[in-house]
Amino acid sequence: MSAIPPPPADAILSALDRDGHAVLPALLDADACATVAAMFDDGATAFRSTVIMARHGYGQGEYRYFARPLPDMVQQLRETLYPPLAAVANVWADRLAGLRHWPADHTALAAECAAAGQTRPTPLLLRYGPGDHNRLHQDVYGDLVFPLQLAVLLDAPGRDFEGGEFVLVEGRARMQSRARVVPLRRGDAVVFPVRDRPVASARGWSKAVMRHGVADIRYGQRRTLGIIFHDAR
């Protein structure tokens, strides 16, 4: 796969401010989607663990965390997408008191994670079949939490599967929860907050708490690549 031009940070920031997420259209082409999706059980790709979601109350379906060294494409996505997302995260840090700032490249973040005892890689492949779903959750793997992550849809909605909508739920002080369904095509990525995000309020910025999940798959197979930038304890 050729190098992916990183999307501009200001476009990602304004989409996040407006919608609570940003879609990166056609981040991966159809061939790249097929190649990554096939890693799930190609026998050549090394994974550090496999999770049967129903056993943990996470939903229904399964996912696998890549082992280190990460496949080139996954490593490249992590390195290429990190800088603009770090720029967004640093704007967020300026808005909300008490938030830390982030280094400019992923190598530096990985070193900080390692120093904090977070050494296990978090990028993962997920696979869902009919009736499967992913309950609303947050991907926090230690004290060091880089505030943005992304998921890339690897199968084509309407053709390979039906249902399985990506859902974000936002909670704000003194308000009811707000749900958003993110329309994705195969190869699109959704960038979303890991745990919370700044929202404009009457008195400056306040924090909205975010959770994400996947609605029931009604037909077929839906696979995704998840890129989380901090490593796990």
Ligand X SMILES: O=C(O)CCC(=O)C(=O)O
- The footprint of Fe ion on residues 121-150 (CB under 5 A) is 139
Indicate whether 189 belongs to the interface with ligand X (CB under 6 A): no
The helix/strand/coil state of 124 is strand
Residue in 166, 155, 165, 138 with CA at minimum distance from that of residue 228:
138
Instruction: Between 118 and 134, name the residue whose CB sits nearer to ligand X.
Output: 134
What the block records as the tokens of 195 is 């745990």
User: CA gyration radius for the chain?
Assistant: 17
Binding mask 204-223 for ligand X (x = CB under 6 A): --------x-x---------
Instruction: Between 52 and 200, name the residue whose CB sits nearer to Fe ion.
Output: 52
Residue 224 site contact among Fe ion, ligand X, none (CB < 5 to 8 Å, cut-off depends on kind): ligand X
Cα 115 to the chain's mean position, in Å? 23
Query: Residue 53, Cβ neighbours under 10 Å: how many?
Result: 18
Residue in 136, 139, 126 with CA at minimum distance from that of residue 211:
136
Instruction: Between 103 and 213, name the residue whose CB sits nearer to Fe ion.
Output: 213
Instruction: Between 52 and 104, name the residue whose CB sits nearer to Fe ion.
Output: 52
What is the rounded distance in angstroms from the CA atom of residue 139 to the CA atom of residue 67?
18
Binding mask 152-171 for ligand X (x = CB under 6 A): --------------x-----
What is the rounded distance in angstroms from the CA atom of residue 117 to the CA atom of residue 146?
15
Question: Using CB atoms, what's the residue nearest to ligand X?
Answer: 226
Q: How far is the CB of 145 from Fe ion (least distance, A)?
A: 13
Q: How many residues bind ligand X (CB under 6 A)?
A: 9
Q: How far is the CB of 91 from ligand X (least distance, A)?
A: 22
What DSSP string runs through 133-172?
Answer: EEEEE----SS---SEEEEEE-S-BTTTEEE--EEEEEE-
Can you tell me which of 53, 224, 229, 232 binds ligand X, judged by CB under 6 A? 224
Q: How far is the CB of 48 from Fe ion (least distance, A)?
A: 17
Q: How many residues bind Fe ion (CB under 5 A)?
A: 1
- The footprint of ligand X on residues 94-153 (CB under 6 A) is 126, 134, 139, 151
Instruction: Between 140 and 200, name the residue whose CB sits nearer to ligand X.
Output: 140
Residues 122 and 139: beta-carbon distance below 8 Å: yes
